[in-house]
């Protein structure tokens, strides 16, 4: 069996759901009452910037009401104590990984607490509401938008992620639907390069058949147990 040194972890909405952040689909989901086309595409932003900005303002405000859960804490512990390579790639736009203490991580779909200038391309930290026509602190253009990767846009950090997947000995997917690309294809890339693959999810994802092992249950239960296994094996 290949020695486990480099780990890549993909996290999705199911991880933060246990902290009280709504997932995207299903009853009570973020898309309930909103079509994706109305709030999460470049065309939606151009057509109705008030609606799009208001939607993300509400999500940003929600962050003040939630805290990291046991799964976030366990991954932060793994980040701190794992001697080998580690990269946490999150599809989530909340800041719960950081608040739990994780450092070796990337946001591939952007961040709620960041604003992007559509004119100069600069991005930076942002707190509170972000009205349409807010001015960029760098270039002065009234062109700030939520720093969120909309459907149809290229996710962030793809070159770094692809290299990490190529170097990975283990790829773990946590709380993801397996329905949104390119993240849904990470398991195939990791397998192609010889990595072991593990899915930790409440229910089987759309890509469960690609994983060497699937464990089902709440992330707050499964992730701490898995982290304990990994750190015990390392000792």
Residue 5 annotated as catalytic: no
| Rounded distance between C-alpha atoms, residue 217 and residue 223, angstroms | 10
The dihedral region occupied by 20, where left means phi > 0, alpha psi between -120 and 50, and beta the remainder, is: left
Task: Determine which helix (DSSP H) or strand (DSSP E) holds 33, and give its type and residue range.
Answer: none
| 3-state helix, strand and coil shares in percent for the chain, rounded to the nearest 5 | 35, 20, 45
d(CA 39, CA 151): 10
Selecting among 107, 109, 157, 193, the annotated active-site residue is: 109
Identify which of 118, 119, 129, 11 has the alpha carbon closest to the alpha carbon of residue 69: 11
Strands 110-117 and 123-125: antiparallel
H-helix segments, the chain:
13-17, 36-39, 42-47, 49-62, 70-81, 96-100, 158-167, 186-192, 219-234
Residues with catalytic function: 109
């Amino acid at each position: 069996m290949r020695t486990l040194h480099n780990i890549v972890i993909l996290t999705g909405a199911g991880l933060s759901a246990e902290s009280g952040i709504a997932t995207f689909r299903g009853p009570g989901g973020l898309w309930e009452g909103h079509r994706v086309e109305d709030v999460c595409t470049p065309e939606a932003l151009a057509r109705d910037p008030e609606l799009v900005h208001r939607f993300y303002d509400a999500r940003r405000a929600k962050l003040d009401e939630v805290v990291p859960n046991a799964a976030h804490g366990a991954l932060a512990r793994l980040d701190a104590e794992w001697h080998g390579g580690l990269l946490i790639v999150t599809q989530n736009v909340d800041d719960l990984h950081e608040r739990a203490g994780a450092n070796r991580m990337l946001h591939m779909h952007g961040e709620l607490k960041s604003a992007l200038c559509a004119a100069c391309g600069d991005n930076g930290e942002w707190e509170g509401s972000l009205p349409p026509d807010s001015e960029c602190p760098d270039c002065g253009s009234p062109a700030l938008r939520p720093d969120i990767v909309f459907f149809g846009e290229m996710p962030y950090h793809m070159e770094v992620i692809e290299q990490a997947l190529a170097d990975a000995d283990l790829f773990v997917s946590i709380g993801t639907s397996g329905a949104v690309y390119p993240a849904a294809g990470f398991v195939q890339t990791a397998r192609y390069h010889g990595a072991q693959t593990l899915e930790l999810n409440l229910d089987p994802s759309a890509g469960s058949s690609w994983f060497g092992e699937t464990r089902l249950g709440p992330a707050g239960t499964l992730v701490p147990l898995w982290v304990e296994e990994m750190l015990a094996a390392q000792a």
